[in-house]
């Protein structure tokens, strides 16, 4: 039976997350032997700023970095999870979320 954990983060950018730009987030923890899913999107509050424009985020990369054990022996120690998102819409986004699902067996 699998164990699923959900993490939900919200972000605010005063100057706006501009179209075409990327943001990378790093999360520490034990990510080895797990499946990780990431989703990102603008929050409803952002719609109030530019009602006719397209607000859309895409997760462009999910990477697990693992540091090797002493002299290359062993399975390695989990270092971090890196998630990169990109604004693929046509307007700046001021409020957005990043959601992670951590699935372990």
Taking the domains of the chain in order of start, what are their residue ranges? Answer: 3-104
User: What is the spatial distance between Cα 71 and Cα 44, in angstroms, rounded to a whole number?
Assistant: 50
Q: What is the dihedral of CA 97, 54, 21, 46, to 10 degrees?
A: -40
- Token digits for 30? 């034990």
Confidence check: pLDDT of 95 > 70: yes
Percent of the chain with pLDDT over 70: 80
pLDDT for the residue 2: 86
Give the pLDDT of residue 12.
94
pLDDT higher than 60, residue 76: no
Indicate the CATH number for domain 3-104. Answer: 2.60.40
Nearest Cα residue to 96 out of 39, 53, 28, 29: 39
- The span from the CA of 30 to the CA of 13, in Å, is 29
Cα 35 from Cα 21, distance rounded (Å): 27
């Amino acid at each position: 039976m699998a164990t699923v954990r959900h993490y939900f983060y919200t972000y605010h950018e005063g100057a706006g997350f501009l179209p075409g730009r990327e943001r990378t987030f790093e999360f520490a923890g034990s990510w080895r032997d797990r499946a990780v899913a990431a989703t990102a999107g603008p929050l409803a509050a952002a719609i109030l700023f530019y009602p006719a424009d397209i607000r859309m985020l895409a997760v462009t990369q999910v990477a697990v970095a693992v540091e090797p054990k002493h002299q290359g022996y062993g399975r390695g120690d989990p270092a971090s999870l890196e998630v990169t998102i990109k604004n693929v819409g046509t307007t700046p986004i001021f409020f957005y979320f990043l959601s992670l699902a951590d699935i372990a067996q």
